[in-house]
Structures are given as C-alpha cells and as structure tokens.
Structure 1
Amino acid sequence: MNQSNEWMSLSFQNQEIIKKHQNDMPIKLGLLSKELGLIVKRATLPANISGEIKEQDGEVIIRVNRHDAQTRQRYTLAHEIAHFFLHRHLLSTGITDDVLYRSSQSDEIEAQANRLAADILMPIDIVKDLMHQHQKLKGENFYQAIADDLNVSVTALKIRLSKI
C-alpha cells in the first residue's frame, strides 16, 4: 500500500494542494500551512505537550512546542495539519497532543492523524527515490541520510519504511 486510507479520503483538491508542496525536499510545511490559511505559532508549551490545534473566531491556530527538536516540531506540525484535514469538526474544542501524539480524542483519531502526517512529510515515491540514491550507505548511515533529506527523525522514517 503506497498511501494511507486517510490520504485516499482527502478530496482531489486537497491532495493536489499537498502534492504541490511535495516537489521540493524537505516539504515546506510553513508554505503549506499558509496556503491552507492556518496560523502557526511556535510556543512554549508544557514539556509533555508537542502541539495543539484549535479553531477560534473563524481562524485555525496551530501551536507547536518550540522547545522540541526541529524534526519533532515538523512532525507535530504535519500531525496538526492532518487533524485540520481529517477532524475539522473537532477543532472548535481544540485538540492538544502530548509527546506520544495522544490527546483526549480516541486513539484511532490520533492514529489517523499520524498516518496522514507521514503521507505529507514522507511521500512513498520520494522515500523510494531517496532509498535508491543512498543505497550504497549501510546501516544507520542509510537511514540518517534519508531522514536528513526529508528533515524528519530516523525514528519517524523507520516507522514509515515499516509500512511500505
């Protein structure tokens, strides 16, 4: 399976908006957020909170914990963008995700956001191209080179590769 059910559930228009931002690596999440009309703020959040998304007065605001590693902040932003696409009906009360990307919402809602976040940050065709480009590297160097190209953590990449 190349893309998640969550990706397949997006409208063609939303898929095209995302794909437009997947032409350059790493994905420019700030530009994607801006096109979607999302307001992204890096904020000091409690140590156990990675991010949150809330709709207020007609605006959708995403806050990402500025104290997390950059790759973590990027994944959190992609995760919150996924909530925007998949769970818009829940945003008026807000969704706050802890460091394990768990919230007061169901585990399934968080799993859905994680799968779509992976589709946004690490498109399968691009991951496969990078695997080919770095095929001469061995062990952790192989994974690190691909993760660096995508600006994601090695852990996130390995989870993504386990789904191919």
Structure 2
Amino acid sequence: MLKRLEMNGLLKLPVDVHAVAEYLGLDVKEEAMEDELSGFIEPRNGGWAIGINAFHHPNRQRFTIAHEIGHFLLHKPREKHVDITFARRTGGKNRIENEADSFAAKLLMPEAAVRQLVASGQTSLESLAAYFRVSVMAAKYRVQSLGFAVR
C-alpha cells in the first residue's frame, strides 16, 4: 500500500495524512473527546470515518490519523474501534495496536528519509520529530525500530 501511495504522490514529506485518508475514502473529523482518547475509526454514512481528539497537539493528531489508517488497511475493521491514550503510555498494547503504530511510523517517517537524515548528522530526536511533524516519542519509536541508538 505504501508503494501505491508513493506512486500517487502522497508520500511527499511531511506526509499529508489528511490527503492519504481522503485518497482511501476515509473522512477525518476532529471531535471533542476525553484526554485519554486519541481517536477512532468507525463506519459512518455508508463509508468510514476517523475521529481525532480535537484537544490534542497537531503532531499527535497526525500520528493518530496514520494509526487509524493502519487499522483500516491492516485489520479491516467491521465496527467502531477506539484507541485509548492510556494504553500507549503504559505499554499495555496488544499486537493489533503495535501493528497500527508501526504502520503509522512507517507512513510518517519513511525508512529512507530517516536513514538519510541520520547519515547527514541530524540525530537528535527533537530535530527528527520537528522534521517529520511527529512527537518526540513517535520519533524515538521509529529510530529504535530501525536499529539506531537514541540520544
């Protein structure tokens, strides 16, 4: 799927997750939610909708959208799926959540781009997070998954 998105010009950095969602036929809406809720994907009006927490930082919202796209593509949900922030913070995630996180990290921070930045000396998590418009935690997850030491 990532190759298809790239062929359609949707993986230019920083990745426009709203455009990716639209390409996939997903409607994205900001909604008022409790802080512990990051987002959800659900059937709505004959299609699928991603809801994101209107009160979360835009970079966090980007990761949530990418995460929900991951659920849509990898897990083919049949009903509403809600993601709880607490599970992310405490490491209490299951395989499905880990897969969606991994997909989101790969979508927002493509391996070749991460490797190129690190090779050019841009190794601080803060600078990588700013470049890809993700949280420092998301940048740390991606850098570690690629085998780089974290600073």
Give the TM-score range, shorter chain: 0.7 to 0.9
Number of the residue aligned with 2:114: 127
Following superposition, the deviation at residue 40 of structure 1 comes to: 0.3
Paired amino acid for 2:82? T
Segments of structure 2 that go 5 or more residues without pairing to the other structure are 147-151
Paired amino acid for 1:158? K
Number of the residue aligned with 1:8: none
Aligned sequence identity (%): 31
TM-score, normalised via structure 2 length: 0.85
Paired amino acid for 2:144? S
Instruction: Name the SS of the counterpart of 1:152 in structure 2.
Output: coil
Q: How do 1:21-100 residues align onto structure 2 when only pairs under 5 Å count?
A: 21-22=10-11, 24-88=12-76, 90=77, 92-100=78-86
**Alpha-carbon displacement from aligned partner over 1:12-56 (angstroms, at most 9, x marks no partner):** xx233332322x211011111111110000111122100000123
**Alpha-carbon displacement from aligned partner over 1:34-84 (angstroms, at most 9, x marks no partner):** 111100001111221000001234310000001011111011000000001
Does structure 1 residue 151 correspond to structure 2 residue 133? yes
TM-score, normalised via structure 1 length: 0.78
State the distance in 1 between where 2:63 and 2:75 align.
Answer: 17
Paired amino acid for 1:150? F
RMSD, matched Cα = 1.7
How many aligned residue pairs are there? 140
State the distance in 2 between where 1:96 and 1:36 align.
Answer: 19
- Return structure 1 stretches of 4+ with deviation > 2 angstroms: 14-20
Number of the residue aligned with 1:5: none
Instruction: Name the SS of the counterpart of 1:162 in structure 2.
Output: helix
Segments of structure 1 that go 5 or more residues without pairing to the other structure are 1-13
Segment of structure 1 superposing worse, 51-60 or 35-44 = 51-60
Paired amino acid for 1:44? A
Contact 2:52 2:61 in 1 (8 A): yes
Instruction: Name the SS of the counterpart of 2:33 in structure 1.
Output: coil
For residue 163 of structure 1, the aligned residue among 131, 134, 145 is 145
Contact 1:43 1:65 in 2 (8 A): yes
